[in-house]
Amino acid sequence: MFAKTLRRTLPVALAALTVVGFTAAAHAPTSLKNAYKKDFFIGVAINGQQISGQDVKGDAIIAEQFSSISPENALKWSLLHPQLDKYTWDAADKYVEFGEKNHMFIVGHNLVWHSQVPGWVFRDDKGNLLTRDALLERMHDHIRTVVGRYKGRIQSWDVVNEALNEDGTLRQSLWLKIIGPDFIEKAFQYAHEADPQAQLTYNDYNLENEPKRNGAIALIKKMQADGIPINCVGIQGHDHMDWPTEEQEDSTIAAFAALGLKVSISELDIDVLPSAGPITADVSANLQNQQTANRNPYVNGLPDSVQKDLAARYTMLFHVYMKHRKEMSRVTFWGLSDGDSWLNGFPVRGRTNYPLLYDRQLQTKPAYDAVIEAAKYKAK
Ligand code: GLA
């Protein structure tokens, strides 16, 4: 009797579930990490509120959707090591615990950069610039301490960030001026020494542009010739609606993969606003004086046509990533939702931007569906 009732009612119940969209009961719920699980990690940069657990809804989405995390700021030198003898581990420890709890590929960002590094790093107690040896020692201590603390727990380190100029020459940072060009090789050696298993990455923006890409290739070839342990290149991916082209993205990934390295898209977002000067992700750029109404056209929402164009841009990019899926390590979005994005304040402060897959209410956008769909793409 019971079995008969069940036979009769089950199809009805299942049909009802289907109508209200719960066929998900039969399949796993859609997620970015599942869609790409055979291909590469899908990461997201997480901010202080997400690390500390204050963004409850955001954290739930991050845990459900992503297989990798990067710290937006928590591991940068100025936050982690603000004074010579002082490390502030709290946020960094919580960040790593969050990743471990959710079984994620955990990224350390970053060790050596010209920005978000305190002035004292380069000077002695009288305010004079350090000697090469003294700065190398300071760099060594920092890397040994930070990488050592998370040995075996942080799987991938952005060892050097943004060492190149647009023309492919080395940026005139204090690292370069004081130590010389081998500051990069030294940083990788120190990181390898502190955690021989970790993936070590050179990370930069605008590598899709040929002069800078050629500079990176020359740098990496020299490192390889010198026996330096580098395993991966991070193409930041701070993209625009008209840059990079499909060909640029494709040939850039191919060029780095040809060096025998893994490739990450390490900081993906797509700026939908009118460009406010030359394309750059140089955090010191400030085009504040250009803030006029036509530079901030979508204060009241993104028009459907632009939503569609944004989704199409994501489709194009993910088709290229899928074409290279065997060479890719991860694709990391620089922020969870549009409201979290640095692009609301860069390079012009106070604009309303829409670069990511989740809107300000943490609802998925058409760009999210486009990325899920692109996982089915198989290049010919
Ligand atoms: C660069 C850095 C990141 C971040 C972004 C802007 O790309 O690598 O750490 O600061 O700029 O948020």
Domains and CATH numbers, the chain: 14-374 (3.20.20.80)
Query: Looking at the DSSP assignment, which residues form a beta bridge with residue 285?
Result: none
Question: Looking up tokens 């580098």, which residue turns up?
Answer: 230
Distance 327 CA to ligand 1 centre (A): 23
pLDDT digits (tens, 9 = 90+) for 133-163: 999 999 999 999 999 999 999 999 999 999 9
- Which of 334, 340, 353 has most ligand 1 atoms within 8 Å of CB, for mutation? 334
Question: Looking up tokens 């591991």, which residue turns up?
Answer: 75
Distance 283 CA to ligand 1 centre (A): 7
pLDDT digits (tens, 9 = 90+) for 48-87: 999 999 999 999 999 999 999 999 999 999 999 999 999 9
Question: Looking up tokens 């991938």, which residue turns up?
Answer: 156
In our burial notation (b when 16+ CB lie closer than 10 A, e otherwise), range 20-33 reads eeeeeeeeeeebbb
How much is the pLDDT for 28? 55
Ligand 1 atom showing the smallest separation from residue 76 Cα: 9
> In the structure encoding, which two tokens stand for residue 80, read together?
């982690």
pLDDT at 301 over 90: yes
Q: Catalytic residue at 162? A: yes
3-state secondary structure of 263: strand
From the candidates 162, 185, 208, 249, give the one annotated as an active-site residue: 162
pLDDT digits (tens, 9 = 90+) for 181-190: 999 999 999 9
Residue 325 exposed, middle or buried by CB count within 10 Å (0-12, 13-18, 19+): middle
> What is the residue-averaged pLDDT of the chain?
92
pLDDT at 280 over 80: no
Pocket of ligand 1 (CB under 6 A): 109, 161, 205, 236, 267, 281, 283, 342
pTM value is 0.90
**Residue closest to 50 by CA, chosen among 9, 6, 85, 99:** 99
How much is the pLDDT for 130? 98
Distance 198 CA to ligand 1 centre (A): 21
Q: Catalytic residue at 267? A: yes
pLDDT at 15 over 60: no
From the candidates 72, 185, 249, 267, give the one annotated as an active-site residue: 267
pLDDT at 282 over 80: no
